[in-house]
Structures are given as C-alpha cells and as structure tokens.
C-alpha cells in the first residue's frame, strides 16, 4: 500500500511538472510568434505609409497639373492594399523557398472592391469589435483553422475620413477611371468615422506547440524514470536494511571498538594540534644511523617540514645545526637499552630559522637482537632558551651598570641588588639583602616608605635626590629614580641610585663660576646679547646685561623668547643675522668688526664681537664707539680744515701781497696812460693802442680786487641788510644770468634778523653761485633753489663748515644755493676754493676763491655738499650779531621783566624755527635743547629728563610726528608739560588732543610776547 501511494504521488508530481513545462513553453512560443507577426505587420504598414504619403500626393499633384488624365486610375500604383497584398505574396514565396510556412495576411473589409479582401467570420467579428471598442489597438489569439492551430493577430487599419470619401464615397463622386475599373458597389458608399478595414495576419504554430509538447513529454518521462529509480532505491535499501539487521549484533561490538579508536585518534589529533611538541620512533641496527619509522605532533609547525618530507629524509639528523650535529649524534649512539636521556640541540627549519629542541629519548631493544629503537618526545624550547639567555644578559647588563640598583618589597626589605650597589656602599650582596631601605637611606622611615609606595602605584615613576650611607659611614649624595614594578601578584620597588658627588661638586663650582660670570657680565661696560640656536636654525634671544639696557635704553627682558628677526629687525635686515648663525653653528670662529646702526632700538657706531659660549649658544658684545668715531672724524676734519685753512691763509697772504704790488704797478701804468692820452693829439694813431692798454689795466685792477677779496683784505662797505630783500631785488638779474632751461625757486624764511654786511659783496657771492649752478645744469632742464633762514649753531654743527675755526656758537643767518646739476666728486670739492682752480674750459679760477674770501671777511662760514649726478648745494652762514635783540623786540616785548628758569626742549624740523625759537627762549631766561625731529627729541628727553621743565613740540614732522612724539613723552613722564605748535588753528588741535594731557598750544607764526604769555601762564598755573 505504501509503495502504491508513492507511485501515485510520483505520477501526480510528474504530471504537474509536465503541465507546467508545456504551459511555459507554449506561452513562450505564442509570444515569439506574436512578435514576428507584429514585425511583419509593421513592415506592411510602412508600405502603406509610403504609398499614401509619397505616391498619392505625387500622383494628385501631377494630375492637377494636367500631366495625368483626370480619370486615370491604376491599382498597381495607386492602391496601397493591392500593392501590399502583392508584396506579401512575394514574401510568402520567399518563405516557402527557405522551407518556412507561408504567413496569412489580409487587409480585410466588409465592403471590399476586390473579393479577395472580403473578411471571413472571425475578421467580421474583429471589425465589429474594433468599431465598438475604439480604445482597443490590437488583438491576438490562438485559433484552430481547418484542424490546424494558428496565431491570429489583428489591428484596425483604416478609419474613413473626408479625403477617403473621394474614392470610397458615392460611386458617382469617384474618378471615372475607378468607376470603370470597379463595376460593382464594393468599396463605395463608405461613411466617415467608421473603421472599414483591419489588418489580419496569421501564422501556423503547430510545429512549435508540438515541440513544446515533446519537451513536456520528455520532462514527464524524466520524472517518471527518476521516480522509478527512487522507488527501486528505496526497495533496495529496505532489503539491505533487512540483511544488515542480522549482522547487527556482531557489528555492535566492532562499532564500539572503532568508536573508541576514533575517539582516541581524535583526542590525539586535537592534543597534537594544541601542543608544540612532537613524538617520534626511530630505529637502527648496529653500525647504521637511526632512521625515522614514525613521527607525529607539531613537527611541521616547528621545522616547516611535513611528515612525508621527513620520511623522505629518512633521518632527521640533516636538520640538526652543523655546530650541534656531531655532539648530538654521539649522544644518540651512546644510548643503551633501558636508558633515558634528554638531548638539547638546534635545528635549521625549512625557512632557515634556527630553533632550539629539547628531546627526551628512551632506548629499547628491537625485534631483532642487533636492533635498537629510540622513542622520543621533543619540544620547541627556543623561546625558553632565548629567555634564559636574555635573562642572563639582563643580569650581566644590570651588574655592568655603574649606577646602584635596588629591588625592594613594599615593606622596605631589600630583595635584590646589582654589583654596583655593593661596590658603592661597601656591603656584600648578602649583607644588603638582609637590610631595609631606611638603613641605607637615613632620610627615609618605614612609615614614609610605605606611604610613598602607595603613591608610586599611582604615578609609576618618581625621581628625587637623597643621601645614602655607606658601610664606612660616608654619606653619598645620589639621584634616585624609583619605578613601580608588578609581575603577577608580586610588587617591587626598583630604585636606580646614581652617585652625584662629582656632579654636586661640579654644580657648586659651576654655580660659583656662574656667579662670577654673572657679576662680570652685569658689571661689564660692554652691552652683551645672548642667543640660543634653535633646532629650526633660528636665533632666539635669551637676554642682555644691564649695560645693554643702559646703552640701548630699552628693557631687554621684554624681548626674551623672540627670534633675532622679531627682537631686532634692523640687525636681521643686514648680513648680521647670517653672520650670527654661522658663528653659532661653529662654521666661523670669533668675529670682530665695527658696524653702524640707525633704528629705534639701536643707533650709533659699535665695535661688535660675537663668539660661541657653548654649543648652540652665542654671545654678542657691543661697545659704543659712536663718540669715539665722531671725535676721530671731527679731529680728522679739524686737521683737514686746519691744513686747508693754513693753505688758504698762505695763499691769501700771497694773493694779498701780489695784489698790493700789482695795484701799485697798475697805478703807475694807468697814470702814465692817462697822461699820455692827455698829451697826444687826437689824430695820433697811438691813442687807440693807449686805450687798449687802459682797458687791459682796468681788467687787471678788477683781477687784483678779486685777489684782495680772496685774501679777505678787500674793502667792505658794512651796513644793515635784510637778506630776503636783497635776494628779491636780485631776482630779475639772476633770471637774466642763467640758462633758459633753468628754473629759479625761492624758499625765503618768513622773518629773519638783519645782518651787518656789504651788500655788493653778498650780491657777488649769490651771483657767482647761481651762475655756477646754471653752468652745472648745462643744456638739460634743472632747478636752482635759493633759500634763506636763521638757525642756532653749536660747535659740532660749525665743525662741518669751511672757515669755522674763529667763529663762535650762536644764531646765524644763512642762505643756500642748490642745483640739480651734474654734481662734483670729493676730489673736486676739496679743490673748489683753491685760487686758479677751475673746471671750465675758459676761466681764471678766482670766482669761488673770491666767494670764500668774502665769507671770511664777514666772519662767516660756508658748507658744500655735492653728489655726482645729483647736484650741489652751497650754504653760507653769516653771524646775526647784535641785530637779534632788535629783531626780538620787533616780535614782542618783555616789559614786565618775567623770566623763566630751567631747560626747554624745542623740537621742530625747520631750522629757522629752531634758530629764532632758541633765541626767544633764551631771551625769556631758559636754557634750550633743540632737536630736528621727534625721534631725536625723545633721545634728548631720555638723557636730560631731570633738567627739562617743558617741551615746545611741532605737530608735523618726519619720522615721528608731534602726536606720536607726545604719546611717547607721556609714557616716559606722565607729568611732562608739552606745548604743541602748529600752523593749524587752536580749536582743531585742542580737539585732537582733548583729554590727553596737552599743557598748551601756540599757533605759528608767533611773536616773543605770545610765546612768553603761553609759557608764563603754564608755569604760573
């Protein structure tokens, strides 16, 4: 019964599979056939489209033009259905030739012109279906026609519209040719909006469906066969089961044995995989080496050789390290039956690594009398051997360390020491192991030690300095590094004590040396900078000594940590920075040189020395030699001027003597010439020669006057002169005298005191200098600037002038002639005042000599500044004399007799204001310090701050303007009294400085009375 059910179930399953297979294949066949039919129909529709869209319009156009008879009609070229039907017939002929079944195709209609196109029953039904359901676009179905299954596929083709009615409407409206061709009513009397024709196409699918049936049948056969095989197998298994039941009792015992054996083998395999050991069995006969009979375990992981490779080797002795091979072979050969021995040797693994093996071998007698068998259990002890070697090396290393090392328990007991600890303290190792840490370190107690051990557990390492007591009582200063060590449950305190006796002595010596060095550095008159060379190559400023603070007037502590470029930009901008780096790196030795600087921090001339105090440490010494260099320059200038003055004096004496004698001779010549002219007849031809002699004598007299002027012995007509008016009166004459390409510019001071001088001589100086300036400009365009002013001159300033050895300090009126001409070199400037020296092609060389003599005669001085290609300026100083008081009285009076006291700092970039302002302040009873810009004013204020009672400060200046200077002055002394002077009105300036502590304001230009009122009010307040 069970077998019957199984057969029924198998047949049902096979039938289901067959049905599913047939259904799937049939659907696939129909789908592919439908795709083919759709492709054919689309091709036919292309024919229809071409005929209707291309051929028909062409035909109607030709007919309308009269090219074709109006009644002409031929279906072979005008009927798309006819043409398509004929082409489909050709298509079927080609299919038949290729062995393919023909395809049924019809443009079916209920009212065709050609009976061939009349719809059959199925096609009539489809026409009705498409007309009733206009949303239906296609139809396909498998039908049986004449006993054969075919796939029919249809689509609506024509929906009659108005153009269609031209041929398919009423018969009488159709072309006569069409009427004559078709006598019946077929194709006529159609209505618009009706689908009158469909495309119907069919293809036989019997063969394809037969193939599907065959596939389904094959599937059914395969399933039936498999089912039968399954049933046969089941029956066979049943018989086998029944046959084996008889042997079950016998097999049970064998099975139990096999299971036990399998369990044993599995255990062996698992334990072998877990262990790093291997076992082996070797045998040999007398006189022969041992050969491997059996091997198992982890030999492969140890040596890299598998068991088969070992069997091929036959003996594992080739694996033994050459250095151990002879001794290992001897050990094996010496084994006797019943003897067990442990061998330790090295093997060379397959990857050429060296492994240490510990092999416990036992020797037994074999089955033959002369056969020996060795059973061995070997382990890889490489790590143990290496660990032992490393442990031994560690012990040797620890004992070789020169520092004492102690291992202590948490209770303070010493549990181990190295040899250095014994040597340092003088105890034996046994003595130290019986001691506690407080017995070695008298500064420690057991309670403190246990508390420190608790802290050591948390931080891990502690470093400190302490003192150890040696066996002989000596106290040894030590540096101790204590480390917490834990291994399992064992805790230790590992302390490393370094004897720092020598270091302490060196530190004390170093401290004393540093104190001495610091004392030397701090008391040194040299300004010292200290730099450190960073790893990046930058020089970092580490500080300076007090002399550096005083010399540069800054606090060097504010610059510590900055790079050389950040702290001293002026030094970094030159080759100074690179030179410092090379010395710091040791590329250069000690360097000594002189250098001039001009910066807010460092200004002046210095003797510089730089050297390394230690690796990566640089010291730079500065000695301010500004005054010394200035003194040397002044001395050299004075010597040059003295020599030049002596030369000029000698030349002046010579020129004066020559001129005096020359004048005497000229007087005789001119007198005799006049007498000869009086006594000669007017008609005498000699008179013309005498006139030429008289003219030459007159010119010679002018030359003698110039020589006398150079000697300073010329005749001067001294009178009070307003220099500005003198220059203005000469304007026309100067403009006529110079080149047309030159432009005269006048920069005359607003008000200056009058001077006592010879107007004619001054005109000669100005004229000579202006004409020389014009000639220096030459053919190119240029500017000649004529400037006047007054200024207060000290000895240092006067030393830069010619003829300054006899003139005193004080107020001087000056005029300056500057040009933009070719300029002169230093050699030319040095000779410019020499008599008869000239740079002109034609010239006597007495013009500048005469200028120098006139200046000397007026007790003045002259200064020349020239650069080749830039131009030349001549500045002439003339003493103001007693005319200053008259000038000051013109600016204001001091009738109430108020007098100030103390020193006033006058800061202005105009020399004229400096000169007149100084005289006004002196008139009011003050001593005066002057500066030409804010930066110089700040330097003076820092040096003379205790003396200065007020500052008269110009608002607009170069470098540091008045506002910036005022701010710096307030930083230096918050109580400083500053009076601001400016051409701006008072309201604008006071608003600008409101709330900033400005003491007063005076508007330029100001008189003495105005200045007195501002200053006196300041001090009275």
Q: What is the pLDDT of residues 362-377, one digit of tens each?
A: 988 887 877 888 888 8
At CA 620, angle to CA 618 and CA 622, rounded to 5? 175
How many Cβ atoms sit within 10 Å of the Cβ of residue 697?
19
Length of the chain as a residue count: 1021
Is residue 228 one of the residues assigned to a domain? no
Q: CA dihedral defined by 549, 550, 552, 553, rounded to 10 degrees?
A: 90
Q: Which pLDDT score, from 0 to 100, does residue 785 have?
A: 93
Question: Who's near 222: CB < 8 A, 6+ residues apart?
Answer: none
User: 876 and 807, same structural domain?
Assistant: yes
Task: List pLDDT tens digits, range 423-466.
Answer: 888 898 888 888 888 888 888 888 888 888 888 888 888 888 88
Single residue among 889, 923, 945 that ends a domain in this structure: 889
Task: List pLDDT tens digits, range 712-756.
Answer: 555 456 788 888 888 888 888 888 888 888 999 998 887 788 888
Q: Which tokens sit at 87?
A: 């082409």
- Tell whether the model's pLDDT for residue 76 goes beyond 60: yes
User: 883 and 798, same structural domain?
Assistant: yes
Q: Which tokens sit at 724?
A: 């500005």
User: 741 and 840, same structural domain?
Assistant: yes
SS3 content of the chain, % helix, strand, coil (to 5): 50, 25, 25
Task: List pLDDT tens digits, range 971-1004.
Answer: 888 888 899 888 777 767 777 777 778 888 888 7
Q: Which has the higher per-residue pLDDT, 626 or 333?
A: 333
Query: From CA 422, how far away is CA 213, in angstroms rounded?
Result: 107
What pLDDT band is residue 873 in, cutting at 50, 70 and 90? very high
- Tell whether the model's pLDDT for residue 841 goes beyond 60: no
Angle of helix 80-97 relative to helix 2-50, nearest 10 degrees, comes to 130
Question: Of all helices (H) and strands (E), which one includes residue 662?
Answer: helix 626-679
Q: Which has the higher per-residue pLDDT, 27 or 356?
A: 356
Is residue 578 one of the residues assigned to a domain? yes
Range name among 266-275, 538-547, 787-796, 893-902 with the lowest pLDDT average: 266-275
- Sign of the CA dihedral 278, 284, 288, 292? negative
- Tell whether the model's pLDDT for residue 702 goes beyond 70: no
Q: Which pLDDT score, from 0 to 100, does residue 753 have?
A: 85
Single residue among 388, 417, 435 that ends a domain in this structure: 388
Backbone angles phi, psi at 981, to 5 degrees: -115, 140
CA distances from 168 to 81, 85, 192, 778 (A): 14, 19, 10, 116
| CATH number of the domain to which 729 belongs | 3.30.565.10
What pLDDT band is residue 783 in, cutting at 50, 70 and 90? very high
Is residue 151 one of the residues assigned to a domain? yes
Is residue 101 one of the residues assigned to a domain? yes
- Tell whether the model's pLDDT for residue 817 goes beyond 90: yes
Q: Which has the higher per-residue pLDDT, 232 or 378?
A: 378
Q: Which pLDDT score, from 0 to 100, does residue 905 have?
A: 92
Q: Which pLDDT score, from 0 to 100, does residue 707 have?
A: 60
CA distances from 1020 to 901, 975, 987, 1016 (A): 13, 16, 23, 6
Sheet holding 539-544, edge to edge: 539-544, 527-533, 617-624, 603-614, 591-598
- Tell whether the model's pLDDT for residue 183 goes beyond 90: no
User: 163 and 193, same structural domain?
Assistant: yes
Q: Which pLDDT score, from 0 to 100, does residue 768 have?
A: 87
Total domains in the chain come to 6
Backbone angles phi, psi at 412, to 5 degrees: 95, -5
Q: Which pLDDT score, from 0 to 100, does residue 644 have?
A: 60
- Tell whether the model's pLDDT for residue 883 goes beyond 80: no
CA distances from 221 to 8, 26, 29, 212, 732 (A): 15, 19, 22, 14, 141
Question: Of all helices (H) and strands (E), which one includes residue 194?
Answer: none
- Tell whether the model's pLDDT for residue 1 goes beyond 70: no
Q: Which pLDDT score, from 0 to 100, does residue 874 have?
A: 92
What pLDDT band is residue 871 in, cutting at 50, 70 and 90? very high
User: 974 and 844, same structural domain?
Assistant: no
User: 363 and 424, same structural domain?
Assistant: no
Task: List pLDDT tens digits, range 95-104.
Answer: 889 888 888 8
Backbone angles phi, psi at 858, to 5 degrees: -95, 10
Task: List pLDDT tens digits, range 654-700.
Answer: 666 666 666 667 777 777 777 777 778 877 888 788 778 777 777 67
Question: Who's near 544: CB < 8 A, 6+ residues apart?
Answer: 527, 528, 529, 530, 556
Task: List pLDDT tens digits, range 16-26.
Answer: 777 777 677 77
Task: List pLDDT tens digits, range 595-621.
Answer: 777 665 566 777 777 878 778 788 888
Query: From CA 691, how far away is CA 686, in angstroms rounded?
Result: 9
Task: List pLDDT tens digits, range 906-940.
Answer: 998 888 788 888 888 888 888 999 988 888 899 99
User: 779 and 750, same structural domain?
Assistant: yes
Q: Which pLDDT score, from 0 to 100, does residue 884 have?
A: 65
What pLDDT band is residue 826 in, cutting at 50, 70 and 90? confident
Q: Which pLDDT score, from 0 to 100, does residue 657 have?
A: 64
What pLDDT band is residue 876 in, cutting at 50, 70 and 90? very high
- Mode of pairing for the β-strands spanning 978-982 and 1000-1003: parallel
What pLDDT band is residue 506 in, cutting at 50, 70 and 90? confident
Give 972: exposed, middle or buried? Use CB within 10 Å, 0-12, 13-18, 19+.
Answer: exposed
User: 729 and 601, same structural domain?
Assistant: no
Question: Who's near 352: CB < 8 A, 6+ residues apart?
Answer: none
Contact assessment for residue 648 and residue 833, using Cβ atoms and an 8 Å cutoff: yes
Query: From CA 479, how far away is CA 498, in angstroms rounded?
Result: 5
- Tell whether the model's pLDDT for residue 818 goes beyond 90: yes
At CA 158, angle to CA 152 and CA 159, rounded to 5? 125
User: 136 and 98, same structural domain?
Assistant: yes
Query: From CA 706, how far away is CA 688, in angstroms rounded?
Result: 28
Query: Rounded mean pLDDT of 503-515?
Result: 80
User: 766 and 907, same structural domain?
Assistant: no
Is residue 666 one of the residues assigned to a domain? no
* Percent of the chain topping pLDDT 90: 4
Q: Which pLDDT score, from 0 to 100, does residue 647 have?
A: 60
How many Cβ atoms sit within 10 Å of the Cβ of residue 472?
7
Contact assessment for residue 310 and residue 316, using Cβ atoms and an 8 Å cutoff: yes
| Mean residue pLDDT across the chain | 79
What pLDDT band is residue 274 in, cutting at 50, 70 and 90? low
Is residue 708 one of the residues assigned to a domain? no
Residue range(s) defining the domain that contains residue 428: 401-504
Is residue 876 one of the residues assigned to a domain? yes
- Tell whether the model's pLDDT for residue 816 goes beyond 90: yes
User: 757 and 817, same structural domain?
Assistant: yes
- Tell whether the model's pLDDT for residue 322 goes beyond 80: yes
- Tell whether the model's pLDDT for residue 843 goes beyond 60: no
User: 462 and 321, same structural domain?
Assistant: no
| CATH number of the domain to which 438 belongs | 3.30.450.20
| CATH number of the domain to which 954 belongs | 3.40.50.2300
Q: Which pLDDT score, from 0 to 100, does residue 536 have?
A: 79
Is residue 664 one of the residues assigned to a domain? no
Task: List pLDDT tens digits, range 473-484.
Answer: 888 898 888 888
Q: What is the Cα 839 distance to its own chain's centre?
A: 59
Single residue among 629, 647, 670 that ends a domain in this structure: 629
């Amino acid at each position: 019964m069970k077998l019957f059910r199984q057969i029924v179930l198998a047949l049902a399953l096979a039938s289901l599979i067959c049905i599913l297979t047939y259904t799937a294949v049939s659907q696939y066949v129909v789908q592919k056939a439908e795709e083919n039919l759709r492709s054919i129909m689309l091709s036919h529709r292309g024919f229809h489209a071409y005929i209707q869209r291309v051929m028909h319009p062409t035909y109607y156009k030709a007919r309308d033009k009269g090219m074709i008879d109006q009644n002409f009609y031929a279906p072979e070229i005008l009927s798309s259905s006819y043409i398509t039907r004929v082409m489909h017939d050709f298509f079927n002929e080609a299919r038949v030739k290729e062995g393919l079944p023909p395809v049924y195709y019809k443009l079916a209609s209920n009212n065709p012109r050609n009976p061939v196109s009349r719809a059959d029953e199925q096609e009539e039904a489809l026409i009705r279906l498409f007309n009733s359901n206009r949303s239906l676009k296609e139809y396909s179905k498998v039908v049986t026609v004449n006993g054969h299954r075919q796939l029919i596929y249809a689509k609506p083709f024509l929906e009659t519209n108005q153009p269609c009615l031209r041929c398919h409407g009423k018969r009488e409206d159709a072309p006569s040719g069409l009427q004559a061709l078709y006598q019946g009513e077929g194709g006529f009397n159609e209505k618009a909006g009706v689908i009158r024709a469909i495309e119907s196409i069919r293809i036989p699918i019997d063969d394809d469906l037969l193939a599907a049936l065959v596939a389904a049948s094959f599937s059914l056969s395969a399933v039936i066969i498999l089912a039968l095989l399954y049933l046969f197998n089941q029956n066979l298994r049943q018989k086998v089961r029944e046959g084996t039941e008889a042997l079950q009792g016998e097999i049970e015992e064998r099975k139990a044995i096999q299971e036990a054996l399998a369990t044993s083998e599995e255990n062996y395999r698992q334990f072998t995989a877990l262990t790093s050991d291997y076992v082996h069995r070797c045998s040999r006969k007398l006189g022969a080496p041992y050969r491997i009979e059996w091997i198992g375990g982890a030999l492969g992981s140890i040596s890299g050789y598998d068991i088969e490779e070992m069997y091929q080797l036959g003996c594992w002795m080739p694996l033994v390290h050459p250095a151990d091979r002879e001794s290992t072979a001897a050990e094996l050969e010496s084994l006797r039956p019943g003897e067990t021995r442990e061998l330790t040797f090295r093997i060379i693994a397959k990857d050429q690594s060296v492994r240490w093996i510990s092999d416990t071998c036992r020797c037994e007698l074999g089955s033959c009398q002369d056969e020996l068998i060795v059973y061995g259990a070997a382990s890889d002890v490489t790590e143990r051997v290496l660990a032992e070697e490393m442990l031994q090396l560690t012990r040797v290393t620890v004992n070789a360390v020169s520092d004492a090392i102690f291992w202590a328990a948490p209770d303070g007991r010493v549990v181990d020491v190295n040899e250095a600890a014994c040597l340092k303290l003088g105890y034996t190792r046994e003595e130290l192991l019986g001691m506690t840490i407080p017995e070695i370190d008298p500064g420690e107690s057991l309670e403190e030690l246990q508390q420190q051990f608790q802290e050591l557990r948390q931080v891990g390492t502690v470093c400190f300095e302490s003192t150890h007591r040696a066996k002989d009582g000596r106290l040894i200063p030590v540096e101790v590094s204590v480390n917490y060590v834990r291994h399992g449950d064992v805790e230790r305190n590992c302390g490393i004590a370094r004897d720092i006796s020598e270091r302490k002595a060196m530190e004390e010596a170093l401290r004393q040396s540093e104190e001495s060095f610091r004392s030397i550095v701090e008391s040194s008159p040299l300004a010292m900078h200290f730099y450190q060379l960073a790893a990046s190559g930058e020089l970092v400023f580490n500080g300076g000594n007090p002399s550096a603070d005083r010399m540069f007037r800054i606090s060097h502590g504010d610059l510590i940590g900055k790079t050389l470029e950040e702290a001293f930009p002026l030094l970094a901008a030159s080759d100074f920075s690179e030179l410092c780096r090379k010395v710091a790196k040791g590329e250069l030795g000690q360097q000594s040189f002189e250098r001039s600087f001009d910066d807010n921090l460092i200004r002046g001339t210095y003797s510089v020395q730089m050297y390394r105090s230690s690796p990566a440490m640089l010291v730079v010494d500065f000695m301010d030699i500004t005054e010394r260099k200035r003194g040397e320059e002044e001395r050299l200038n004075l010597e040059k001027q003295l020599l030049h003055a002596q030369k000029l004096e000698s030349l002046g004496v010579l020129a004066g003597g020559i001129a005096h004698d020359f004048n005497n001779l000229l007087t005789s010549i001119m007198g005799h010439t006049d007498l000869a002219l009086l006594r000669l007849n007017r008609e005498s031809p000699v008179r013309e020669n005498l006139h030429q002699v008289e003219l030459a004598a007159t010119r010679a007299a002018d030359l003698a006057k110039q020589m006398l002027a150079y000697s300073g012995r010329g005749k001067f007509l001294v009178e009070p002169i307003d220099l500005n008016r003198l220059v203005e009166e000469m304007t026309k004459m100067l403009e006529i005298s110079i080149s047309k390409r030159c432009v005269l510019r006048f920069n005359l001071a607003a008000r200056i005191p009058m001077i006592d001088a010879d107007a004619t001589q001054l005109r000669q100086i100005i004229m000579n200098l202006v004409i020389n300036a014009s000639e220096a400009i030459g053919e190119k365009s240029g500017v000649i600037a004529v400037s006047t002013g007054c200024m207060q001159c000290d000895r240092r300033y006067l030393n830069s002038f010619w003829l300054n050895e006899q003139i005193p300090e004080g107020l001087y009126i000056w005029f300056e002639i500057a040009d933009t001409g070719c300029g002169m070199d230093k050699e030319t400037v040095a000779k410019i005042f020499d008599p008869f020296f000239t740079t002109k092609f034609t010239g006597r060389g007495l013009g500048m000599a005469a200028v120098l003599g006139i200046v000397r005669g007026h007790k003045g001085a002259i200064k020349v500044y020239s650069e080749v290609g830039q131009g030349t300026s001549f500045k002439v100083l003339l003493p103001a004399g007693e005319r200053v008081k008259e000038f000051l009285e013109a600016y204001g009076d001091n009738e109430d007799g108020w007098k100030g006291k103390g020193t006033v700092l006058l800061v202005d970039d105009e020399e004229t204001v400096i000169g007149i302002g100084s005289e006004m302040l002196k008139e009011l009873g003050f001593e005066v310090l002057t500066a030409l810009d804010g930066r110089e004013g700040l330097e003076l204020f820092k040096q003379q701050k205790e003396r200065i009672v007020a500052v008269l400060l110009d608002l607009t200046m170069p470098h540091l303007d008045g506002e910036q200077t005022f701010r710096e002055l307030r930083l230096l002394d918050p109580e400083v009294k500053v009076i601001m002077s400016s051409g701006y009105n008072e309201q604008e300036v006071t608003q600008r400085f409101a709330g900033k502590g400005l003491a007063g304001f005076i508007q330029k230009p100001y008189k003495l009375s105005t200045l007195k009122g501002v200053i006196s009010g300041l001090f009275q307040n």
